[in-house]
Amino acid sequence: MEEESIVPNFWEDSTNAQSKMKTLATLNNQVAVWKGIQEQIVTNLELLELANLENDSSFLDEIRLETGQIEKNVEEEEFTLTLSGEHDQRDAILALHAGAGGVDSQDWASMLARMYTRWCDRKGFGCEILDVSHGEESGIKSVVVQITGHYAYGHLKAEKGVHRLVRISPFDNNHARHTSFALAEVIPKMDEGTDVEINTDDLRVDVFRAGGHGGQNVQKNSTAIRITHEPTGIVVTCQNERSQRQNREIAMRILASRLAELERKRKDKEMSDLKGDHVSAEWGNQIRSYVLHPYQMVKDHRTNVETSATDEVLDGNLDVFIKAYLAFQMGSE
């Protein structure tokens, strides 16, 4: 790829060239990380040999400390091997939708939104709300979030599916136990015009005023955008930015991502038809349960990984579930 990048006509197709250079940079980074680990190992072995030759035990503590760091680095890089999907390195679009259950499910959707925001903080990922529909009483009906960071989609694809909450409802005067559901959709963020071709004749674009909580208007100008892709019926809205142009650009990127995901599902279905039975993690098939009453437990039904530290999980400590699912998925392929 490096040899290809220095060919005189390489940049004639700038879009293709930029894509290849981005891939090349990622590959160079991966190679550099493994070379760095190799250098650490060589240095540590040299220290060990020197300690043995001079019969000097003062090096041993330093060697043990360095060995522990090497093991940690190798484990982290081994985990990235599970992130080898076509789009795993991309940013992600996360959409959360409250399920049946009224205000309890809307409150649960908002709790999930906070959980993923806190997870982003822990990972050092960027997190930006692109569109939100608030509940009349509390919580949210739906929210669309853009999450930026290396392998953001590769991590978050483990979160696709239905999340189930069991608790004493704070909205029930009888303090009854309620079960609520919310759906998490995760798709890789696509760049408009480079990954998916969109015919503008297939689009219906509506402009409206951005609304605040409870339907209040937060802007006098019509800057919010709703784009409908008529052949598929996909509807995308964005009202986060102050200008109509910015909202349109973001909405088009989300639309491109959703169309790419639709095509991926079509291809997956063709493959599953060839492979045979396949259980899909879609609406109605809960992937994880969060039980807050009568006991404390979060359990992933795909891997059977569970923990009683519910507060930590809801505060964004999700890696144990994500890593277990990705390892499970790699083993099943």
Region 46-69 average pLDDT: 86
Is the pLDDT at 215 greater than 50? The verdict is no
Q: Which residue has the higher pLDDT, 282 or 78?
A: 78
Largest CA-CA distance found in the chain, in angstroms, rounded = 79
Q: Which residue has the higher pLDDT, 281 or 210?
A: 210
Rounded distance between C-alpha atoms, residue 195 and residue 202, angstroms: 17
- 208 Cβ contact list (under 8 Å, min separation 6): 222, 224, 226
pTM for the full predicted model: 0.73
User: What is the structure's pLDDT at 150?
Assistant: 84
Rounded distance between C-alpha atoms, residue 87 and residue 240, angstroms: 25
The class that CATH gives domain 200-274 is alpha beta
What is the DSSP track for 123-159? HT-EEEEEEEEE-SSSSEEEEEEEEESTTHHHHHGGG
Region 132-158 average pLDDT: 92
Is the pLDDT at 272 greater than 50? The verdict is yes
Query: Model confidence at 113, in pLDDT bands (50, 70, 90)?
Result: very high
How many residues would you count in the chain? Answer: 333
Please state which CATH number belongs to domain 92-190+283-332: 3.30.70.1660
- In tens, the pLDDT along 276-326 reads 444 443 455 789 999 999 999 999 999 999 999 999 999 999 999 999 999
User: Is-contact 168 175, C-beta < 8 A?
Assistant: yes
Is the pLDDT at 100 greater than 80? The verdict is no
User: Is-contact 139 107, C-beta < 8 A?
Assistant: yes
Region 236-256 average pLDDT: 85
Is the pLDDT at 34 greater than 80? The verdict is yes
Domain boundaries, the chain: 2-80, 92-190+283-332, 200-274
- In tens, the pLDDT along 20-30 reads 888 888 789 88
97 has which bridge partners? Answer: 142, 183
Q: Which residue has the higher pLDDT, 284 or 239?
A: 239
Rounded distance between C-alpha atoms, residue 145 and residue 236, angstroms: 13
Query: Model confidence at 261, in pLDDT bands (50, 70, 90)?
Result: confident
User: Is-contact 324 303, C-beta < 8 A?
Assistant: yes
